[in-house]
Amino acid sequence: GRERMESGCSQTSQTACPPSPSSAASVPCTEDSQRESGEEALDRAATGLESLLRQAEVVRSEVAATERLVQARLASSRNRMLTAMVGFCASATWVACAQVAATMLGQNIHSGLEAE
């Protein structure tokens, strides 16, 4: 028990630190233990960050895929609307041409009322 108090290591770090007879050797042991626990904490944090980055990349790719799907649906709807508009414009053009032809031909038609 006396060596344990002289070494300066706590009971939890005593198992990780080899017992040393001098108190000067206990200081690096404690620093090494703290350094190792700090490195372990940094490793855990780095692992957590890497996991978050992977998840963020997955979410980005899912958002991009959804955006492409929405753009494709919008393009399809736009194409259907354009097709309908072209059809209506073509129909309106034919009707206008028919009106012009009827007007030009209708001027020469005699109703029979002029002779009276």
Q: How many CA atoms lie within 13 A of 41 on its CB side?
A: 6
Position 32: which residue type?
Answer: D
- Per-residue model confidence (pLDDT) at position 10: 46
- The CA distance from 36 to 19, in Å, is 18
Q: Which two tokens stand for residue 83?
A: 């097709």
- Mean pLDDT value of segment 97-105: 88
Distance (Å, rounded) from C-alpha 24 to C-alpha 6? 10
Confidence class of residue 84 from pLDDT cuts 50, 70 and 90? Answer: very high
- The string of pLDDT tens digits covering residues 6-56 is 444 444 444 445 555 454 444 455 777 777 788 888 889 999 999 999 999
| Angle (CA) 61 62 68, round 5° | 90
pLDDT at 92 over 50: yes
Helix and strand element counts for the chain (H, E):
3, 0
